[in-house]
Structure 1
């Protein structure tokens, strides 16, 4: 059962990769700074590299529910604990696939967190609400707000600095700059999202009695990094169209401003606050902020409203699916 849960966790990591591939490269592809396949290959490699930059976010994921309480001694207790972890993954994967099908850039991170909370509540496992508030809820609001404001400020500054330059020369220069900003965004995505799967795998190992504490084994880092890189290379074209074109028609300077600010927010949240924030929320709000510098009506707020609704629904929806799965599976446990 431990092997099954670990494999399903890596499947989630793979779906996270193709679901969130657009986060790193949609702006660069839509502005033609990079071709789709080159962008995906670059994002996949840097997702893998980013996964090696730390494990503090993984430890935060482990701290959402009582990890010590999952460290059971009998086979029946271990099966019960592993079912909780499995239910969390089923909730997250289900919501990922639903939003991917409809091309909605929702958060894989918050789907996983919602799944963990839903499974924890359904099983009467202790949920650490202080961790949820400090590391999830507050950063969940803060990171999109920062993404919007910083992208708006950076784009305003770029417009003033290059106000006398020829548009064709500006676009050509910022297409090259977008290669760097997209790379930074892909690195930040690996730093954030691969660690979340590492955290859930360690939970499964603890639940099965194969690990103690919150340290992340080397093989877990390798497996999670590889799975998210493979998923990213497979590409999430439906969501890419939403981020790259449906919110606003981007030009290279706006794409650069959105990617650069979103990547900066991801690094600060992961390295400074150890908070598992959403790369999707951050880049989407940054695109809105950069686009709003043209005029607020240039942003297609109807599309943006639908995205925000998906953000709000993600955690409770994944939690509900996880809770239902737990209640369905519980009678079959020893």
Structure 2
């Protein structure tokens, strides 16, 4: 049966490394909602379809529901994150390394937010965990390359399909005579759907991290690990929702004003281009980045419209994407090495 809340709390109380891992993972959950979720409502906010405060509240509610609903039918994304790398070296050392990985993600996400650059906490998560595991085992053999293949496949598909779908939808809708009022009304369920799917994708990834922490604390990796308790689903849902309520205005300005100056029709097209890609990937169990999908769709609608994207800003965002994997892997490796040197 799934681990109870009280058993989980007892493990955390007995093991400081697990407790710190839980606290850091919870922090990453908040940061994810704060810096990643705003992409979903960027179009609705900058085009005036929704006031900022209402859009944030809508995104928080839909993120919460996305975590709750999708994890009841499909946890393939969580399993991929859980299995991305193996941690040897004993229980305490493994937990210290996982703790270091979460610290690396917090540092990367905080730095990206300071510059207003939308990066993927999902990719930071898998890279940080992998780097920490390599530092622990001193070998690349700990990496599950089949899981990494799913991550990279999701990256390529989300970027290519997001851009192509955004471009195609914008071209189709621009040929129709749609009132601005109707378009703005349609943006509201569009933003809600993208927010729901953000929760569905990213909530699973953090469930995988929490369950990995429990498995390492108990020194096991059997099938019982992936019986997900309802209280843990609720914790992840609440964490992302609370983080979303913190705002993320800088990210909205970057993707919705600086990178592409969106019209209401372009905002709707980006929503309609993002949703099918996110939905398909979620039910196929591919861990993809909502940030990448959404940003690619925005660039697609910009390329198809009269208001072209600011490719300088887009290039800066793209560079941050490219740097996420190696930077977070190195951060995870370096922090794990430091933590293991002084704490184990």
In structure 2, how many angstroms separate the alpha carbons of the residues matched to 1:255 and 1:247?
Answer: 13
In structure 2, the residue matched to 1:216 is 228
In structure 2, distance between residues paired with 1:216 and 1:6? 16
Partner in structure 2 of residue 292 of structure 1: 303
Check conservation: 1:292, 1:299, Cα contact below 8 A: yes
Determine the structure 1 residue equivalent to 2:13: none
Q: Is the CA contact 2:97–2:340 (under 8 Å) kept in the aligned structure 1?
A: no
**C-alpha contact (below 8 Å) 1:147/1:265 kept by paired residues:** yes
What's the TM-score once normalised by structure 1's chain length?
0.92
Pairwise CA distance, 1:83: 1.1
Aligned-pair CA distance for 1:44: 0.3
CA distance in 2 between counterparts of 1:100 and 1:294 reads 28
Q: Does 1:98 align with 2:111?
A: yes
Structure 2: where are the runs of 5+ without partners?
1-15
- In structure 2, the CA distance between the partners of 1:118 and 1:300, relative to structure 1 (3 Å rule), is same
1:21 to partner: Cα distance:
2.6
User: Is the 8 Å Cα contact of residues 22 and 243 (structure 1) preserved in structure 2?
Assistant: no
Which residue matches 1:267? 279
Who is 2:102 aligned against? 89
**Structure 1 equivalent of residue 6 of structure 2:** none
CA contact (8 A) 1:89 1:115 kept: yes
In the other structure, the counterpart of 1:140 is 155
Runs of 4 or more above 3 Å deviation:
none
Q: Mapping of 1:216-235 within 5 angstroms? A: 216-235=228-247
What is the aligned residue count?
318
What's the counterpart of residue 44 of structure 2? 28
Give, in whole Å, the separation in 2 of the partners of 1:43 and 1:59.
25
Deviations 1:180-228 (A, max 9, x none): 1000000010001111111111010011018742232222111111000
Deviation (angstroms), 1:156: 0.8
Q: Is 1:156 aligned to residue 171 of structure 2?
A: yes
Higher deviation after alignment, 51-60 or 25-34 = 51-60
Deviation digits for residues 33-85 of structure 1 (CA, Å, limit 9, x no counterpart) = 0000100001001101000212221111001012xx55x8xxxx211110121
Matched residues in 1 for 2:179 and 2:96: separation? 55
Match of 1:57 among 77, 82, 85: 77
Distance in 1 separating the partners of 2:122 and 2:218:
26
Of the structure 1 ranges 212-221 and 23-32, higher mean CA displacement relative to structure 2 is found in: 212-221
Task: Give the conservation status (yes or no) of the 8 Å contact 1:94–1:318.
Answer: no
Question: How far apart, CA to CA, are the structure 2 residues paired with 1:156 and 1:80?
Answer: 54
2:312 equivalent among 283, 302, 307: 302
CA contact (8 A) 1:21 1:40 kept: no
Partners in 1 of 2:241 and 2:76 — Cα distance? Answer: 20
> After the TM superposition, which residues 67-78 of structure 1 pair with which residues of structure 2 at under 5 Å, given as runs?
77-78=90-91
Instruction: Normalising by structure 2, report the TM-score.
Output: 0.89
| Structure 1 residue 321 displacement after superposition | 1.0
Quote the Cα distance in structure 2 between the aligned partners of 1:202 and 1:328: 24
Which position in structure 1 is the counterpart of 2:290?
279
Deviation at 1:254, TM superposition (A): 0.8
Gaps of 5+ in 1: none
